[in-house]
């Protein structure tokens, strides 16, 4: 089942978000490929919740994780916590093989470029996705461009 598909997953993520900052930092640093994806997702969400900008480097490494849920959660965390230097990495996930990661990357690029006042970059990355063969990606890109005021 997908992450978040049952109550125990939601409960686990909620508990991770309430961990002390030191425990979240440790969980993010110690997460390894092949570990529970739930730990990777929870760590990324908890870092975002706590505003742990110092964890961006560790979270950026998760953008290449084998598990799509970890990549999705990490791209959103990096978008919320990172500076302009993360934008190229965020844009790479717009071409991920998993549609759920691409839609998370669309959300991430939208958020980061608005937050960093770099909306002009989003237009060039998102516009091609409005022609995607995947309807969900196509609609997400169109909605993001409308939200950004880019035509």
Could you report the per-residue pLDDT of 6-58, keeping only the tens digit for each? 445 566 556 666 777 777 777 777 766 556 777 788 888 888 888 889 999 99
Q: Looking at the predicted structure, is the pLDDT value of residue 111 above 70?
A: yes
Cβ atoms within 10 A of the Cβ of 22, count? 8
- Mean of pLDDT values over 57-66: 92
C-alpha 60/C-alpha 75 separation (Å) is 8
Model pTM score = 0.82
pLDDT at 1: 28
């Amino acid at each position: 089942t997908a992450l978040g598909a049952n109550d125990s997953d939601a409960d686990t993520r909620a508990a991770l978000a309430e961990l002390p900052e030191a425990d979240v930092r440790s969980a993010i640093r110690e997460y390894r490929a092949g570990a529970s994806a739930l730990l990777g997702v929870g760590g990324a969400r908890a870092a975002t919740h706590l505003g742990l900008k110092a964890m961006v480097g560790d979270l950026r490494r998760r953008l290449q994780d084998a598990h799509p849920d970890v990549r999705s959660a990490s791209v959103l965390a990096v978008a919320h916590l990172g500076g302009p230097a993360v934008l190229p990495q965020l844009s790479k996930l717009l071409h991920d093989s998993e549609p759920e990661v691409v839609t998370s990357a669309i959300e991430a690029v939208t958020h980061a470029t608005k937050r960093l006042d770099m909306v002009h970059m989003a237009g060039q990355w998102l516009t091609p996705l409005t022609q995607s063969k995947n309807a969900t990606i196509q609609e997400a890109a169109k909605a993001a461009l409308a939200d950004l005021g880019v035509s």
